[in-house]
Amino acid sequence: MKFQRQAKILDLIDRFDIETQEELTDHLRALGYSTTQATVSRDIKELRLIKTLSAETGKYKYSAAAAGAADSFTTRLRNIFRECVTEINAAQNMVVIKTLPGLGQAAAMAIDAMRASDVIGTLGGDDTVFVVMRDNDSADRFCRQAHDILK
């Protein structure tokens, strides 16, 4: 449940300008997560979220990674990837990754954060991620690397 909630937090701060822990808690509750402000506070600390100035509103909002926190953030996303992925398969230049329910977007975000050079793009659903690779060889190589991360 923790990883699902944290994945949803990453998704929410990516989609909305969330200014306060209370606002984040309200968003989570609206999505069916029974959570407290104290839990959200711990999640913010573990995810190493920071406040940045929103270009659109001029107000501060939670953001995922700053230059100084990028390595820690990537490590956290790799851990989320490790915890949520159940299956990885290549089909030509496409990689299909199955995850626990509700964690497809978190796995896609983890892949994007890894910045693999041969990844053209990712599409994260509820429990499936599609990864488009440059060619068949890079898809096979990516599958091997992803399996190594899971070990």
pLDDT of residue 125: 93
What pTM did the predictor assign? 0.55
pLDDT digit string, tens, across residues 100-150? 998 898 888 878 877 777 899 999 999 999 999 999 999 999 898 888 877
CA distances 35 to 1, 26, 43, 94, 110, Å, are: 11, 9, 11, 37, 24
Does residue 124 contact residue 26 with C-beta atoms inside 8 Å?
A: no
Ranges of each domain in the chain: 2-64, 83-150
| Span 2-64 CATH architecture | Orthogonal Bundle (1.10)
pLDDT digit string, tens, across residues 47-89? 888 888 887 788 899 987 654 445 555 666 677 778 889 999 9
DSSP state, residue 66: -
- For residue 10, pLDDT over 80 is answered with yes
pLDDT of residue 107: 85
The token pair that represents 59 in the structure block: 């107000």
| Span 83-150 CATH architecture | 2-Layer Sandwich (3.30)
Among 3, 14, 2, which residue's Cα sits nearest to residue 113?
14
**How far is it, in rounded angstroms, from Cα 131 to Cα 97?**
8
Helix axes 37-47, 70-84, angle to 10 degrees: 110
pLDDT digit string, tens, across residues 28-41? 999 999 999 899 99
Does residue 44 contact residue 22 with C-beta atoms inside 8 Å?
A: no
State which H helix or E strand residue 17 sits in: none
